[in-house]
Chains A and B, each alone.
Chain A
Amino acid sequence: MKPYVSITLATALEVASSPLSLLVMLAAMALEVFAPVFHYHQFGDPTRMARDAALSALFTCGAVFAVFGAIRAVRREIETGTQEMALAHAVARGGFFLAKAAGVAVAFAVFAAAVSGTAVTMFTGAAIGGAIAEQTAQLARVYGPCVAAGVAAIVLPLVLAAALNRFFRFRFVLTAFFIAAGVSVAGGAVSAALSGGDCLRLVPAVVLVACPALVLLSAAAAFAVRFRANAAAALCGVVLAAMLPAMDVYYRAESLSRGGSIPLGDVALAFAAALPAVAGFLIFGIHFSLNRE
């Protein structure tokens, strides 16, 4: 088991140290912070706006993160020959592929946790801010600090990582990735505590929206074994197009974030839709790995 754990960890760190991953994660967080703010001025129900912005950021940025993370992780090993080095060890080809895919999934889990943390924070912020704004009709004074905090949450990790790199030789991108994720999750935890845990209902909704990204992740990893990066990305586009008509299976925000008991049937249906697809693509990937020279 140990060789596969090593491969998974190394892959997760590689994905987390890619500038693209950091950029996509910060972009998702920025979307969550800013998208609702622009709308507060026009529409009501800011909590709903915060929630929808978070879920769409997770879906779009998550798809990019998963697809490009997986393609890069698999292709680089093939193209630079390091896969040959790994496979000359006591490592089975199918196991190598699964360990790579698992490594990307681990990095994706950190990304999803960061996005959820920000989602919970913004949801709570919108609930409190919306209530105050309604009473005082002073939008700018409520949302100003909100946006400032959001910007700080995105900029501070970068500054901190730069300092750690300058003085202690920490790896900049990797450090920034984990600090940003940590700050976001911590912010989410504090907000959840402040709001009495109500906003945590958002988390299952986030998990379900992450499901299609996992389908894309396994598809990208499998295609990358067989095809070059561009072709694999194009094929993932086809998979995404095939999934879009049934996206509402995964988008359960309304039923999940409402009060009352959690509709388990909806959750089960979403998992039932995602699991066979993930498993199918992984089996394809193993098959491609066994047959490639």
Chain B
Amino acid sequence: MTMEPEIVVSLNGVSKTFRDFWLRPTVVAVDALSLGVRRGEVFGLLGPNGSGKSTTIKMILGLLSPSAGEVRLFGLGPRSVAARRRLGYLPELSYLHPFLTAAETLRYYAGLCSLPRREASRRTRELLAMVGLEEVANRPVGGFSKGMARRVALASALVGRPELLVLDEPTSGLDPISTKEVKTLVKALARGGMTVLTTSHMLADAEDICDRVMILNHGKSVAEGRVAELGTSLEEFFLAKVGDVQDFALAPFLKG
């Protein structure tokens, strides 16, 4: 008998309906979604804009509560403080305190991870070097470019040496070289045993780093599987599954 790998994140029939002031439903962002992320794998949540990727991630982190279904994080409820002690989160937009410097930002998050002072300073230096921001360590992040802010946010997610890393579009705002660096980093972290849950639009990137992917459309899972077993490229597979979503009515602009 083989040992089943431990499930780190599990969603069971999870739905999220956003409501207006009068509690009328406005959007069904996630619809009866079930998934399981296994320890040590890189799991990709893919899907077009507005398909519910970020909403799913926020429910996993306990930032949004599901309207139906059950979310489990390390076997605990996502609102449990103990479960969140073991994860690192990179949000879709790099939310940073503009008045803190890069080094202060990392030290602040080291404090939130309860790292002792000495270790916090060491970790700060280490991570700033890793994301290539040593030279601007003492500049307030409010003045950083989008890509620089992204690097600070990524470093913040890694401060507490998490077991599970949750990345919402990790490469958005990064140039091609930085994108490649982030992919290399994620692969290295995964090899070191970290579980990674990531979202992306960049199918080629997802193909490179993910062991398993799930494709969402309109809040529902339309396909799930191991990247190695797809047979086609992820891009073809994705387009076949999501079909012709036409967000832009381009025809009138393309005439003549």
Contact = CB atoms under 8 A, between A and B. Distances in A.
Interface string A5-25: 111001000100100000000
A14 B109 contact: no
Contact of A2 (B91, B111, B156): B111
A89 B111 CA distance: 10
Q: Find the residue from A84, A85, A87, A91 having the highest chain B CB count within 10 A.
A: A85
B95 A84 contact: yes
A7 B110 CA distance: 11
B108 A10 contact: yes
A82 interface: yes
B3 to A, nearest CB: 29
A87 B63 contact: yes
Nearest to B18: A293
Contact of B114 (A84, A87, A90): A90
Interface in B13-50: none
A283 to B, nearest CB: 19
Interface string B72-112: 00000000011011010101010111111000000011011
Interface in A80-126: 80-82, 84-92
B95 A82 contact: yes
Given A82-B96, A82-B97, A84-B63, A6 B81 contact: no
Given A85-B156, A293-B64, A293-B65, A90 B95 contact: no
A276 interface: no
A82 to B, nearest CB: 5
A92 B112 contact: no
A5 B91 contact: no
A90 B82 contact: yes
A86 B112 contact: yes
Nearest to A92: B81
Nearest to A96: B112
A6 B99 contact: no
Contacts of A293: 63-65
Contacts of A89: 84-85, 109, 112-113, 160
A82 B105 CA distance: 11
A144 interface: no
B63 A10 contact: no
A81 B84 contact: no
Nearest to B64: A293
B155 interface: no
Contacts of B85: 89-90
B108 A6 contact: yes
Contacts of B166: 88
Contacts of B89: 85, 88
Nearest to B110: A6
B158 interface: no
B95 A81 contact: yes
B111 A88 contact: no
A161 to B, nearest CB: 16
Contacts of A197: none
Contact of A81 (B93, B111, B112): B93
A263 interface: no
A143 B109 CA distance: 52
Interface in A7-49: 7, 10, 14, 17
B91 A85 contact: yes
A39 to B, nearest CB: 41
Contacts of B58: 84
A92 B63 CA distance: 11
A3 interface: yes
Contacts of A84: 58, 63, 91, 95
Interface in A51-105: 80-82, 84-92
Contacts of B100: 10
B111 A5 contact: yes
B109 to A, nearest CB: 7
Contacts of A80: 95, 98
A91 B97 contact: no
B61 interface: yes
A232 B120 CA distance: 36
B52 interface: no
A291 B160 CA distance: 27
Given A85-B91, A88-B63, A89-B84, 9 more contacts: A2-B114, A3-B112, A81-B91, A84-B95, A87-B63, A88-B84, A88-B87, A89-B85, A91-B84
24 contacts: A2-B111, A3-B114, A6-B112, A10-B100, A14-B99, A80-B95, A81-B91, A81-B95, A82-B95, A82-B96, A82-B97, A84-B58, A84-B95, A85-B95, A85-B153, A85-B156, A87-B62, A88-B63, A89-B85, A90-B81, A90-B85, A91-B84, A92-B81, A293-B65
